[in-house]
Structure 1
Amino acid sequence: MALRSFQRCLRLGLNYPKSATNMCCSGKLSQFIPSSWVNNHQTFTTSKTISRENSTDASGEPLKKEVESPLETDSERKLKLEIEKLNEDIGIITKKSQELEDKYKRALADGENLRKRLTKQIDDAKIFGIQNFCKDLLEVADILAKATESVPKEEVSDSNPHLKSLYEGLVMTELQLQKVFKKHGLVPMNPIEEKFDPNLHEALFQQEVQGKSAGTIVVVSKIGYKLHERVIRPALVGVAKGP
């Protein structure tokens, strides 16, 4: 029986169990098996094993036998789908996070700009809150200066004590008013013999003045005033005319 099975395997080119092959080749059955069959079977088995071990792919790398399980393939496919879904969710969340961060930074910048503007407005209100009041007082100062200038200086003497007292009172009042102006940052501008500046002066007329270059202020009809470097009233002047 073993002999028939072995012969059938040899004819079909099948592998026969090694233990059976050894038994057949070395035992009593060897006398009934041609030695060429045994040699052919051993050569076929050895060459088949060598060819399987020496198989390579197109790149020259040895082929590795991969055993794929249907269950493992399905689980890998599900895992890939889950990974893709997670990557999409991460992309959406990252985009939303960037948008929220951009809005947050813009809100911070707007808040900081608003704070700076309000701070500047508060500071300006503290400094220039008396601007309208100063403008009204300037008219009083002008009238007081005109009154002082209109008093004849030759009549201010001890022989005329009433006029002298009045004049001295006007001068003292004007000086005190100028001290108050200076205390609060209100500074007069008397630009005689200076170059005309449209930001500080207002030209009333032009006239030819010998020895004066064009644009030189030769007459000051009304002095100007600045409140903390802000012009609240430009000086009214006459400017020399060029040739």
Structure 2
Amino acid sequence: MLRKGITFIGTAVQQTLKSQKHLRVQRFSATAAQSSEEINYEIKKNGKRLSGADYEESVLSSISSEEKTLIPKAAFDVLLKEYDELQTESKDYKDKYQRSLAETENVRRRGIKQTDDAKIFAIQSFCKDLLEVSDILDIAVKSVKPEELESGGKAMKDLFEGVSMTRTVLAKTFAKHGLVTVDPTNQKFDPNLHEAVFQIPSANAKQPVGHIEVCTKIGYSLKERPIRPAQVGVVSQ
């Protein structure tokens, strides 16, 4: 609608220029101007803008045949007013368009984030169950002493290597999907991230009060979101 309005002004002027060789804006005396302004040169009819040809016909039909080469000042003023209105509408539509683009981009970004969060939530429960398997493999590997491994024979070594390889592959799979271990040893205790299972007197600790001296069970985070707190021993007074 906006483009049609702007096109109309150019079309109206161009068509009139083509049809009238010596077209000029009419210079009125006070009396002539008053009589011209009494005529209704509205550019809209029933709420819709007239086409260039229709408006030209409306203007020409209101003036005498000997004045066909003149544009009544009132009609020209209507064109100027309409041009200003279209400029204002154009600016308003442009502003709304830019706001709509910004809002669409925000909606797109929120949608992507919500989708990513949904994916993380979907596998979170499954990851927690697998952590118990990882813990058991860690305990199994750490429980075998070197001397027992040497005296256990080939079968013992093969079993140990198989468990170790399974543990390694599982750790790589965790990392591939954003599931990483959290060992907060020597860090300041944070009740939102860590679970204190016992306290160590400061006289027997290397870390300052309020810090973690020992991590008895490592924690895990999924895509930087904690899903299992690390179990730790905290230095106390």
Structure-1-length-normalised TM-score: 0.54
Query: What pairs up with 1:117-196 in 2 under 5 angstroms?
Result: 117-121=110-114, 130-151=123-144, 155-159=148-152, 165-196=158-189
Q: Is the 8 A contact 2:179 2:221 kept in 1?
A: yes
Which position in structure 2 is the counterpart of 1:113?
A: 106
State how far apart, in whole Å, the 2-side matches of 1:212 and 1:174 are: 31
Deviation at residue 168 of structure 1 after TM alignment: 4.0
Which amino acid in structure 1 is aligned with residue 211 of structure 2?
Answer: T
Q: Is the 8 A contact 1:128 1:227 kept in 2?
A: no
Deviation at residue 110 of structure 1 after TM alignment: 0.9
State how far apart, in whole Å, the 1-side matches of 2:33 and 2:125 are: 88
State how far apart, in whole Å, the 2-side matches of 1:69 and 1:103 are: 44
Which amino acid in structure 2 is aligned with residue 111 of structure 1?
Answer: T
Q: Give the secondary structure class of the aligned counterpart of 1:106.
A: helix
Residues 69/233 of structure 1: CA separation in 2 closer, same or farther (3 Å cut) = closer
State how far apart, in whole Å, the 1-side matches of 2:30 and 2:122 are: 87
State how far apart, in whole Å, the 2-side matches of 1:72 and 1:148 are: 104
Deviation at residue 163 of structure 1 after TM alignment: 5.2
User: What is the total number of aligned residue pairs between the two structures?
Assistant: 175
- In our comparison, the structure showing a higher alpha carbon Rg is 1
Match of 1:213 among 183, 208, 213: 208
Deviation at residue 207 of structure 1 after TM alignment: 3.2
Residues 237/77 of structure 1: CA separation in 2 closer, same or farther (3 Å cut) = same
1:55-99 residue CA offsets vs partner (Å, 9 max, x unmatched)? xxxxxxxxxxxxx78556634776565566556545554444443
Q: Does 1:74 align with 2:69?
A: no
Residues 222/77 of structure 1: CA separation in 2 closer, same or farther (3 Å cut) = same
Q: Which moved more, 1:144-153 or 1:170-179?
A: 144-153
Deviation at residue 189 of structure 1 after TM alignment: 1.9
1:15-51 residue CA offsets vs partner (Å, 9 max, x unmatched)? xxxxxxxxxxxxxxxxxxxxxxxxxxxxxxxxxxxxx
Query: Which structure would you say has the larger RCO, counting Cα contacts within 8 Å and 6 or more residues apart?
Result: 2
Which position in structure 2 is the counterpart of 1:235?
A: 230
State how far apart, in whole Å, the 2-side matches of 1:235 and 1:92 are: 67
Q: Does 1:222 align with 2:183?
A: no
State how far apart, in whole Å, the 1-side matches of 2:102 and 2:216 are: 49
Structure 2 unaligned blocks of 5 or more: 1-28, 40-71
Which amino acid in structure 2 is aligned with residue 226 of structure 1?
Answer: S
Query: What pairs up with 1:10-29 in 2 under 5 angstroms?
Result: none
Deviation at residue 109 of structure 1 after TM alignment: 1.0
Q: Is the 8 A contact 2:36 2:74 kept in 1?
A: no
Q: Is the 8 A contact 1:181 1:187 kept in 2?
A: yes
Q: Which structure has more strand as a fraction of its residues?
A: 2
Structure-2-length-normalised TM-score: 0.55
Q: Is the 8 A contact 2:188 2:212 kept in 1?
A: yes
Deviation at residue 184 of structure 1 after TM alignment: 3.5
Q: Is the 8 A contact 2:198 2:232 kept in 1?
A: yes
State how far apart, in whole Å, the 2-side matches of 1:226 and 1:70 are: 88
